[in-house]
């Protein structure tokens, strides 16, 4: 997808979802102390690091508790509001700012942390050939229900077959999943707090 289309989509979605983000921010603040927005260092295109923005879905200081940066299904560090935000991927809405900044695209492999990138095989490093995305081929084909190597393989397949038509198909299927809440569990094993 072109940078111009990314900018248009991200701008429109930021305006449309601003009231929803404001409501989520109020709910996060009412439930627990700490920042509303969570920032985490992730690895982008060509291995360049950037700061990913998300709505906080976990208790403050979660990175130093339990599984650390990894989030397990049913993780007790996830707040009640956080569970709802994750169910519909609303915690990812600030990623739109990352798209406007040029760190991310609307479609591409989800960005991950350096510790995971350090374990990539040469083939798996191909997922770094494109900007990370808000949604991607792995997200519409199983997300966190798939083992990590299978998700990476889906991302590599996307890199090898990417096209405007495929990107549009991914966006349409993502919208359908968001509307129903089916097949979605927000983000990555390194989900933000």
How does pLDDT run across 36-49, given as a tens digit for each residue? 999 999 999 999 99
Q: What is the pLDDT of residue 16?
A: 96
Q: CB-hemisphere CA count at 13 Å for 23?
A: 8
Percent of the chain clearing pLDDT 70 (strictly above)? 91
Tell me the pLDDT band of 63, cut-offs 50, 70 and 90.
confident
Q: What is the pLDDT of residue 182?
A: 61
Cβ count within 10 A of residue 3: 11
Query: Six-digit token pair at 64?
Result: 């130093």
How does pLDDT run across 8-31, given as a tens digit for each residue? 999 999 999 999 999 999 999 999
Q: Are 152 and 127 in contact (CB under 8 A)?
A: yes
Measured CA to CA, the distance from residue 191 to residue 24 in angstroms comes to 17
> Is the backbone of residue 61 left (phi > 0), alpha (psi -120 to 50) or beta?
left
How does pLDDT run across 74-127, given as a tens digit for each residue? 788 999 999 999 888 899 999 999 999 999 999 999 999 999 999 999 999 999
Q: What is the pLDDT of residue 181?
A: 65
Average pLDDT (128-153) is 89
Residue 162, SS3 per DSSP: coil
Would you say residue 192 has pLDDT above 60? no
Q: What is the pLDDT of residue 30?
A: 94
Query: Six-digit token pair at 85?
Result: 């935000």
């Amino acid at each position: 997808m072109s940078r111009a289309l990314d900018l248009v989509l991200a701008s429109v979605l930021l305006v449309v979802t601003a009231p929803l983000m404001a409501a989520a921010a109020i709910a996060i603040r009412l439930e627990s102390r700490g920042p509303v927005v969570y920032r985490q260092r992730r690895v982008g295109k060509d291995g360049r690091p950037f700061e990913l923005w998300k709505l906080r879905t976990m208790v403050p200081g979660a990175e130093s508790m339990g599984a650390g940066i990894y989030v397990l299904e049913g993780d007790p560090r996830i707040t009640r509001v956080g569970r709802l935000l994750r169910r519909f991927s609303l915690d990812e809405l600030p990623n739109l700012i990352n798209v406007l900044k040029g760190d991310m695209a609307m479609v591409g492999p989800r960005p991950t942390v350096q510790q995971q990138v350090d374990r990539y095989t040469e083939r798996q490093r191909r997922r770094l050939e494109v900007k990370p995305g808000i949604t991607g081929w792995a997200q519409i084909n199983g997300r966190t229900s798939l083992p990590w190597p299978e998700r990476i393989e889906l991302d590599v397949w996307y890199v090898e077959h990417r096209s405007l038509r495929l990107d549009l198909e991914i966006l349409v299927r993502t919208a359908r999943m968001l509307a129903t809440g089916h097949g979605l569990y927000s983000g990555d094993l390194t989900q933000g707090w």
